[in-house]
Structure 1
């Protein structure tokens, strides 16, 4: 199965994000798989006037929120239908641009730099980090931040597995120490990795990783 087809099938099965969250907000950013839980945009620092890139932007909900905080946002997703959904829902907001592309291809050919790059359960989880991390590093402005999240690996799981929802896609299941070492090897400063506990201590937490240019 082709990778693009796999992600298109995954996208078709996704439920659209709610119109408002538990706090009544129309836009929000959530790093975890649990609704209305965990840190928000503060992970990325001050966003006013900053250039932000999301890899695996999906339907654009995260970037829509960041644009309301004053960021100039670019989203990249490999599934063509995701761009259409993002434009339909958020095209009225300023400072938003969405592209259909593979993350490595986009980073290899894009011009300019970004002050923040984020990936929430996105391409950083599904792309060889020895290839992707240096490409992101080259596109970060001085002091810029890469921040990404995914589920922590299950105990005893091999670092590389396959995504059950899209079997054509490989997943890199690394833990905090492995990601910190990979970031340091790729030239990132002050790598940080932590597991955000699930709400109420029930279920699976979320691994949140950061590194700086």
Structure 2
């Protein structure tokens, strides 16, 4: 039985727990996936041809490793969880140009002096951070001509805004996790207000249209 988390930090430390035996094996970094369905949707080409990239909510780090190994991108993977960060460092320590940082997304973006050609999030920190706070900070750290892209579950139509939930379900300590869900139109308007151009915000339908689709957003900072 998986032990219930007792704090928000511990919730992310134990997110998607390994249920096998022995040491968790390192995942293959042989694909870059935006959606929850294998082989579905676009890949790394959505980011263009960045020299540097920042992933917000990198978790096990396989997409960051893919960019570094296959495309020679200098990638920083950022995650709020010390456990997830330590695991990613252990798994990918032999990958040149790949760094993992333990930090909260807004705190890192507000304090770093680094800038990036691409900032992206795959079902990660963009979903779990207030966009009114996060997007202005992303704008500041994105190089001219740079790409901001992210994916998460499609929102339930008519139920937009912050969506609190109990991280432990209906048993255990009260760990409140908030997700921000908005329509593609809302995202396009927000990004336009912050100076982004070439905005594409859409719901990518699942292979079976009866299943949950993916909100996929891409925008560019003017050169």
TM-score between both structures, scaled by the size of structure 2: 0.85
Unaligned runs of 5+ residues in structure 2 are: 1-5, 169-174
Which is further off, 183-192 or 161-170? Answer: 161-170
| Superposition deviation, residue 147 in structure 1 | 0.2
Q: Deviations over 1:61-113 (max 9, x none)?
A: 01000002110000100011111111121111111000100001110111121
- Paired residue secondary structure (2:150): strand
Is the CA contact (8 Å cut-off) linking 1:17 and 1:61 kept in structure 2? Answer: no
How does the TM-score come out when normalised to structure 1? 0.89
Q: By how many angstroms is 1:164 displaced?
A: 4.9
The Cα of 1:14 is off from its aligned counterpart by 8.0
The answer for the alignment partner of 1:58 in structure 2 is: 59
In the other structure, the counterpart of 1:206 is: 214
Higher helix share: 1
Structure 1 residues 163 and 38, CA gap change in structure 2 (3 angstroms): farther
User: Where do residues 150-161 of structure 1 align in structure 2 (5 Å cutoff)?
Assistant: 150-161=152-163
TM-aligned CA deviation for residue 19 of structure 1: 4.4
What's 2:171 paired with?
Answer: none
1:200 aligned counterpart, secondary structure: coil
Give the 5 Å matches for 1:22-37. Answer: 26-37=29-40
Moved over 6 A (4+): 14-18
Give, in whole Å, the separation in 2 of the partners of 1:44 and 1:11: 26
Shift of 1:177: 0.3
- Kindly name which structure, 1 or 2, has the bigger radius of gyration based on alpha carbons: 2
Measure, in 1, the Cα distance between the counterparts of 2:96 and 2:162.
39
Partner of 2:202, secondary structure, is strand
Q: Quote the residue 1:67 is aligned against.
A: 68
Structure 1: state its 5+ residue gaps. Answer: 21-25
Who is 2:104 aligned against?
102
- Over 3 Å counting, the alpha-carbon distance change for 1:30 and 1:194 in structure 2 is same
Asked if 1 retains the 8 angstrom alpha-carbon contact of 2:27 and 2:62, the reply is no
The count of residues paired between Structure 1 and Structure 2 equals 206
Classify 1:163/1:63 alpha carbon distance in 2 versus 1 (closer, same or farther; 3 Å).
farther
- The structural deviation recorded for 1:17 is 8.3
> Paired residue for 1:142?
144
1:18 to 1:90, Cα distance in 2 relative to 1, 3 A = closer
- Provide closer, same or farther for how the CA distance between residues 18 and 98 of structure 1 changes in structure 2, counting only shifts above 3 A: closer
Q: Which residue of 2 aligns with 1:46?
A: 49
Q: Which residue of 2 aligns with 1:116?
A: 118
Give the alignment partner of residue 176 of structure 1, picking from 151, 167, 184. Answer: 184
RMSD between superposed Cα atoms in Å: 2.0
Q: Are residues 17 and 207 of structure 1, via their aligned partners in 2, closer, same or farther at CA, if it must alter by over 3 Å?
A: farther
Secondary structure of the residue that 2:200 maps to in structure 1?
Answer: strand
